[in-house]
Amino acid sequence: MTMMRWDPYREMLSLRQTMDRLFEDTFLWPARSQYEMSGGNLPLDIYQTKNDVVVKAALPGLKPEEVDISLSGETLTIKGEHREEKDTREADYIRREHRYGSFSRTVTIPVAIQSDKAQATFDNGILTLTLPKAEAIKPKQIKVKAKETLEGGKA
């Protein structure tokens, strides 16, 4: 049998971790919605191509007319509302994880865009925004030309 030296601080740390976990499980987790636990109100994928910035958001159960998109400068805002089904309001739920209510997500687009040419499509619950980059931001190719020679000689 191996003897271990008693360390009161180790036991106190364990007690503190247990108490922290108790308070988190009791008070914090039930108040959080599924979207808040995943890191934001509305999960987004934002990437850029050579000419565009593309924003994708999963909005299952919504119709295109229930989504409000606004673009002001480089600030993009997506708003909407998940409505609760009326016929199941009185049901005796065992577990309920679907989120109902309004949502809003505002992000800053990291490059200048042409907001007047932005396009939005909605397919199978996936919102895709295509935001064309401003002309000044797009990479330009500059061709190098040889300098003209003077009177047939070298320059």
Contact in structure between 30 and 96 (CB atoms under 8 Å): no
Which residues in the chain belong to E strands, given as ranges? Answer: 44-48, 52-58, 67-72, 75-82, 101-108, 119-123, 126-132
Banded model confidence at residue 13, pLDDT cuts 50, 70, 90: low
- Give dist(CA 70, CA 65) in Å, integer: 14
pLDDT, tens only, 48-103? 998 999 999 998 888 888 899 999 888 999 998 877 766 555 667 777 777 677 88
Banded model confidence at residue 33, pLDDT cuts 50, 70, 90: very low
Q: What is the pLDDT of residue 32?
A: 46
Higher pLDDT among residues 26 and 46, named by residue? 46
Contact in structure between 56 and 78 (CB atoms under 8 Å): no
pLDDT, tens only, 93-140? 777 777 677 888 999 998 889 889 999 999 988 999 999 998 876 667
Please say whether the structural domain 41-85+99-139 has been given the CATH code 3.60.15.10.
Answer: no
SS3 letters for 70-109? EEECCEEEEEEEECCCHHHCCCCCCCCCCCCEEEEEEEEC
